[in-house]
Structure 1
Amino acid sequence: MSDNLQNQIEQILTGSDFSYGLLVQSGDQTLVAHNADDQFPSASLIKLGVLNAVLDQQLDLEQEVTVDPDKFVGGAGVLQLLSQTKWRLKDLLALMISVSDNAASNFVISQVGMDNIQQYLKKQGFKETLLQRYLMDGHALAMGLDNYTSASDSIRLLKMALDHGQPVANWFKNQQFRGKLPANFDESGVDIAVYNKTGEGNLVDHDVAKFVYSNHSVYVALLTSGSLNRMQTLYKFNQVGQVIADWLENQG
């Protein structure tokens, strides 16, 4: 059955105009892998590393963080639209994951320390995941500093985050960017729970997810870069997600 899944996914992705890293796992079994350890610009997947650094170091999630409107950044998120200037750390984390809020992410990074987060990632053995700049920091990017991760690292980071319990898992389950891997079946009545985090940037699209159906689950990470036809790329995400969902349903 896993051979059939691999063949279906290869048919979708072979000949794509982008490079990609892919990993599909169920339990301890690797079902499909392609360049799973290759390093990609992480876009918003770096927020998984930030989240785990905060949770694993058992920082006080009730601590108050003052946000400076002068340091708001664009892109995804709602923080810059709100008038509140003091937030609990856990609320900034919720915004960072559920609406991929870039400003909230930057305030968390500033509160915890970029070097502290990167040292955490290194100590945890994440070889391809690097935090080297704030979100939406075009100046740092122009200087050659970017954030990176891989398909295998991103799945491990998602697993670690979900192990922190249901409140954290709910940030992923209610995550608002669902137009990639789960788009074909999401809100269609199919009883598959999805816990995912996307990333997107210039010529970059990613999604890492856990699909749960009945007593079975599967993890999938698809990271892409270099596509010149984004609509076609997103359609391939939808197709990959659909065949994995079909495989998962057949396990029940």
Structure 2
Amino acid sequence: MKEIKKYFESRAGKYSFYFEDISSGYVYGYNENVPMIAAGCIKLPIALALLKEVERGNYTLEDKHYINESDKVFGTGIIYELGEREYTLKELIAAMLIQSDNTASNKIISIVGMKKINDNFKELGLKNTILKSKTSDVSKDEEENISTSYDLSLCWKALMNNTYLSKENSEGLINLLSRQQLKSKSTLYISEDLKSYISNKTGDKTSIENDTMLIRLQKGNFTFTVMSSEVPNSVYGLVTLAKAGKMMWDSINNLWI
């Protein structure tokens, strides 16, 4: 993992990453506790916060919520292109995670409430993750949602060990995120047949490329999160994350028995 650190130090921009072998407890990090803009990666802890409220009996996944034109947010996802109609919470969480749908995530924030979501973040143990705004509200730096590569990896660890949600809900989220449609960052150089072992959530904005993932293999279960800022352009950022992801994957293949 030292090679990944050296690689990031040689690249333009600012980077953090965190790797953990959940089974053995081996960890390696670089700026892993430095808060950075989360972008779409904030949807991972939001999903955990929502399901915690479902487990508390405050909502059910079959609850229906109406999406009208004023709810829609341009960007990733398909709901923006569809007509006004009701969606179940189950549909909203699937759209938020599989397609990174911005309208779905904003609706979930409205339903649960920003304060309750942040309270649940703290309960989960996320020390540097703060939801500050919906997607459509971000206009100034201080309004950006922030997290760290350590915190995002902690979400995967909680799901893998069933320490925050029930086993059913934990496995449900992991399986949903294995179908995440944006697997072109840290996994770009990993062969397609191996990507089925990876659950991940990406995030990006101008000068920002993030990716957080859980890897489940016979030899062990691993988390890997990369966050960046001030990258020259999206292509530069994507290539950087892809090469780092390949280094990580090669390390697992070569050093773990």
TM-score normalised over the length of structure 1: 0.90
SS of structure 2 residue aligned to 1:75: coil
Q: Is the 8 A contact 1:75 1:136 kept in 2?
A: no
Cα offset, 1:143, TM superposition: 7.7
Aligned residues: 244
Instruction: Report the 3-state secondary structure (helix = DSSP H, G, I; strand = E; otherwise coil) of the residue aligned with 1:51.
Output: helix
Is structure 2 residue 156 aligned with structure 1 residue 152?
no
- In terms of fraction of residues, the more helix-rich structure is 2
Q: For 1:95 and 1:133, locate their aligned partners in 2 and report how far apart those are by CA, in whole Å.
A: 19
* Post-superposition offset of 1:148: 0.5
**Which residues of structure 1 form unaligned runs of 5+?**
1-5
- In the other structure, the counterpart of 1:213 is 217
Output the CA distance in 2 between the equivalents of 1:136 and 1:129.
Answer: 19
Q: CA deviation at 1:49?
A: 1.9
Between 1:210-219 and 1:158-167, the stretch displaced more is 158-167
- The aligned residue for residue 246 of structure 2 is 242
> Which amino acid counterpart does residue 29 of structure 1 have in structure 2?
G
- Which secondary structure state, in structure 1, belongs to the residue aligned with residue 132 of structure 2? coil
Matches within 5 A, 1:5-16: 6-16=1-11
User: In structure 1, what is the Cα distance between the partners aligned to 2:105 and 2:234?
Assistant: 25
Question: Aligned partners of 2:116, 2:97: CA distance in 1, in Å?
Answer: 20
- For 1:184, the equivalent position in structure 2 comes to 189
Alignment of 1:167 with 2:172, yes or no, is yes
For residue 142 of structure 2, give the secondary structure of its aligned residue in structure 1.
Answer: coil
| Residue in structure 1 matched with residue 78 of structure 2 by the alignment | 78
Q: TM-score, normalised by structure 2?
A: 0.88
Q: 1:7 to 1:78 in 2, by over 3 A?
A: same
**What is the CA-CA distance between 1:161 and the residue it aligns to?**
4.1
State the 4+ residue runs in structure 1 displaced beyond 6 angstroms.
Answer: none
Q: State the Cα distance separating 1:81 from its structure 2 match.
A: 1.5
Amino acid corresponding to residue 157 of structure 2 in structure 1:
K
SS in 2 for 1:65: strand
Percent of pairs with identical residues: 23
Task: Please tell me whether the aligned partners of residues 43 and 200 of structure 1 are also in contact (alpha carbons under 8 angstroms).
Answer: yes
Letter matched to residue 89 of structure 1: L
* Gap runs ≥5 in structure 2: 163-168
Q: CA RMSD in A?
A: 1.9
